[in-house]
A and B are shown apart, each in its own frame.
Chain A
Amino acid sequence: MFKIVERKELNPTVTKLVIEAPLVAKKAQPGQFIIVRANADSERIPLTVADYDRENGTVTIIFQVVGESTMELNELSVGQCVHDFVGPLGVASHLDGLKKVAVVGGGVGCAIAYPIAKRLHELGCEVHSIVGFRNKDLVILEDEFNACSDKLIVMTDDGSYGQKGVVTAPLEQLIEQGEQYDEVIAIGPLIMMKFVALTTKKHNIKTVVSMNPIMIDGTGMCGGCRLTVGGETKFACVDGPDFDGHLVDFDEAMQRGNMYQAFEKHAREEHCNLLHKTAE
């Protein structure tokens, strides 16, 4: 059992939990993830390590409430425990030696992009961050990004905050203005990562994406998270989650991602109905 020591709602659908897990905190690195089960009968779900404090032995996760499992997690308060917390899993992001990087985050993916931007900044790299959200209410981690970025561009789909539009527009603009990036790191919805990869491909800039397929064990024993990368089958949980964005088959990944859509919709509605009943 792993105790929750801090809880903060970053926006109406995104929550941050700081969890006591000293062994995980000791080893975690940016780009790695954990598998969590909120309760004894919960599903195993993967979440990226958003931050860690080796001294205090805590690991931070940030998640968007999208279905039953994240609802269960969201219902836990400070002092309560998550039942299982396994990690750190996956390969850490390779950040050493980079001189200038554009970090592109979309929605809750910014929670994963942030520790990478922070680490790059600590390593002395010039960081340009481009973060995108659907609207003003969903903006997260702006101050944190500001603190570790040499340039920060905030985008919203509806223009209610920052600039209006999607993240690929300012990225393309920066590249065309002559910014020479060693690498672009994109983390967010699959469709966003796909279009970032298409944008950078034109300019031949190395692009790393953090994939988020369906997972169960997260240790390489089932292959549920498999992806096609450069024509080869890879397991995101052990070979990734970071991959070369120009080699990933995004269309296949998007299709595999909706495999249990009907079940998930049903579970979410059931759960909401239960909530209604308790409220009454």
Chain B
Amino acid sequence: MALHNMDPKRCPMPSQDPNIRNKNFEEVALGYTPEMAINEAKRCLGCKHKPCQSGCPVGIDIPAFIGKVAENDFEGAYQVLSTSSALPAVCGRVCPQETQCEGKCVRAIKGESVGIGRLERFVADWHREHSNTPATVPAPNGHKVAIIGAGPSGLTAAGDLAKLGYKVTVYEALHLAGGVLVYGIPEFRLPKSIVQQEIEGLQAMGVEIQTNMVIGKVLTIDELMEEYGYEAVYIASGAGLPRFMGIPGESLKGVYSANEYLTRVNLMKAYLPDSKTPIQKSHSVAVVGGGNVAMDAARSAKRLGAENVYIVYRRGMDELPARKEEIEHAEEEGIIFKILTNPVAVLGDENGCVKGMECVEMELGEPDESGRRRPVVKPDSNFVLDVDTMIMSIGTSPNPLIRSTTPGLETNRHGCIVTNGDDGLTSREGVYAGGDAVTGAATVILAMGAGKHAAKAIHEYIQSK
């Protein structure tokens, strides 16, 4: 056994210089070299009780895969990863590891945790670049399952069910599979070619993906089960319906939902000079909200050439819901944080274009029922922020299309599908749901975890019939 690396700090990951990267859409973090990966892997103590694994929503055997990396067996490491995760190159990049696997790492007690996400990313990238082993197509078990939505939750469930021999068809409303991985998370955080290759891996395993299929419109869930013979359906349609604030001026030209802005930029590639889909050329942009989506929108706007980009958030820096790493990246790239600020109106010019945003200053009062200190308006603090573009990133809710066309499907007052505990069973027999469609907007990895649980539950349900 090789000696452990007892450096309290993790091996840094090379990345593009902030002042260069804020002008391009290429990936910010460049990834470990094999030497760096082995070196970092040796910081893992290989704990027997594996606290890190319990922090991973899809339960990857983390010490086992890192042990293989330390031994220079990258393909072996990939094999360990792929038994638990269908999309390791994605998760290694976008999971909030600090609150999951890395948050439980014993090395974090005296120093920094092992860079589990970076190692996962390294292994998945290494496999993609070096391995030519054809995918093993599992023996068919004769059962059919339909999945609604080709986002992280649907793709994970598809991968797990395909491995068990199910004939899986994924129905996707957009023209490309990937969900938020292709329309939401920008190229500079998650290159689309990587998403594409992970999806091709699933297809090689026998998963069929049908794009341009809006379930609820072109086919209903009842038709899928009665006419097409699917024994179970997994609804993973996400939470894509954007919220607006309801303040005056929100219909002015230059006010976008983050979904629209990011869909134009990412899915339709409006950042490319020869794109057929237009996007506003902005000088000053205000992004309202403080989550990861807000950071993505702000950093995209900067890359599209905006001089001033503001994050406008009604609470303080400590309350920002985005990942720390994303906030740091945004700050490095020159995004300006206007915290304790809330818009009250959008101001327009004579052509109906945004010319400013009227805001009020806030201060933090007593904690509310969510435990966060409630923002309160400071009297007479109105001021105008000069902007020509405003991006609303204050959250999304599940699309009503499926619930309005599926009789007997129970939903709550937020429009989220109600499921029975962990297995994702809905109020309809054979119909399971998970991811943002159930929880409302959450994270990629939680959606993947839900996909895994649902796949297991669907397998048990079909086998026991």
Per a CB cutoff under 8 Å, which of B212, B276, B351, B401 touches A41? B276
A223: chain B residues at CB < 8 Å are 242, 244, 257, 259-260
In the complex, A44 has a CB within 8 A of chain B: yes
Between A and B, 14 residue pairs with Cβ closer than 8 Å are A23-B218, A23-B219, A41-B275, A41-B276, A43-B268, A43-B276, A87-B214, A217-B174, A222-B257, A224-B257, A227-B251, A233-B244, A260-B278, A263-B278
Contact-residue size bin, chain B (C-beta under 8 Å from the other chain): 35 or more
In the complex, A52 has a CB within 8 A of chain B: no
Q: Complex formed: what's the CA distance from A85 to B214 in Å?
A: 11
Q: Chain B: which residue is nearest A69 at the CB level?
A: B276
Beyond the given pairs A223-B260, A227-B251, 18 more chain A to chain B contacts, judged by CB atoms under 8 angstroms and listed by A's residue number, are A24-B218, A43-B268, A43-B277, A86-B173, A216-B268, A216-B277, A217-B263, A221-B396, A222-B242, A223-B244, A223-B257, A224-B260, A233-B244, A238-B399, A238-B400, A252-B251, A255-B253, A255-B351
Q: Chain A: which residue is nearest B238 at the CB level?
A: A221
In the complex, B211 has a CB within 8 A of chain A: yes
A86: chain B residues at CB < 8 Å are 173, 175, 212-214, 218
In the complex, A163 has a CB within 8 A of chain B: no
Q: Which residues of B contact A (CB under 8 A)?
A: 173-175, 211-214, 217-219, 240-242, 244, 246, 250-251, 253, 256-257, 259-260, 263-264, 268, 275-278, 280, 351-352, 396, 399-401
Q: Complex formed: what's the CA distance from A200 to B31 in Å?
A: 65
Please indicate which of the listed interface residues B217, B240, B251 has the most CB atoms of chain A within 10 Å of its own CB: B217
Per a CB cutoff under 8 Å, which of B211, B212, B251, B401 touches A256? B251
Residue interface mask A251-263, B partner, CB < 8 A = 1 = 0100110011001
Q: Complex formed: what's the CA distance from A43 to B264 in Å?
A: 10
Per a CB cutoff under 8 Å, which of B218, B280, B401 touches A27? B218
Per a CB cutoff under 8 Å, which of A42, A88, A255 touches B217? A88
A84: chain B residues at CB < 8 Å are 175, 211-212
Per a CB cutoff under 8 Å, which of B218, B257, B277 touches A87? B218
Q: Complex formed: what's the CA distance from A267 to B173 in Å?
A: 27
B277: chain A residues at CB < 8 Å are 43-44, 216
Q: Which residues of A contact B (CB under 8 A)?
A: 23-24, 27, 37, 41-44, 68-69, 83-89, 216-217, 219-224, 226-228, 233, 238, 249, 252, 255-256, 259-260, 263-264, 267
A37: chain B residues at CB < 8 Å are 175
A267: chain B residues at CB < 8 Å are 276, 278
B241: chain A residues at CB < 8 Å are 220-221
Q: Complex formed: what's the CA distance from A273 to B9 in Å?
A: 58
Per a CB cutoff under 8 Å, which of B214, B257, B260, B352 touches A219? B214
Please indicate which of the listed interface residues A223, A249, A263 has the most CB atoms of chain B within 10 Å of its own CB: A223
Please indicate which of the listed interface residues B212, B257, B280 has the most CB atoms of chain A within 10 Å of its own CB: B212
Q: Complex formed: what's the CA distance from A19 to B250 in Å?
A: 38
Chain A's nearest CB lies how many Å from the CB of B245? 10
Q: Are B263's CB and A216's CB within 8 A?
A: yes
Q: Complex formed: what's the CA distance from A216 to B173 in Å?
A: 12
B260: chain A residues at CB < 8 Å are 216, 222-224
Q: Complex formed: what's the CA distance from A88 to B275 in Å?
A: 26
Q: Complex formed: what's the CA distance from A249 to B259 in Å?
A: 24
Q: Chain B: which residue is nearest A232 at the CB level?
A: B246
Q: Complex formed: what's the CA distance from A217 to B240 in Å?
A: 11
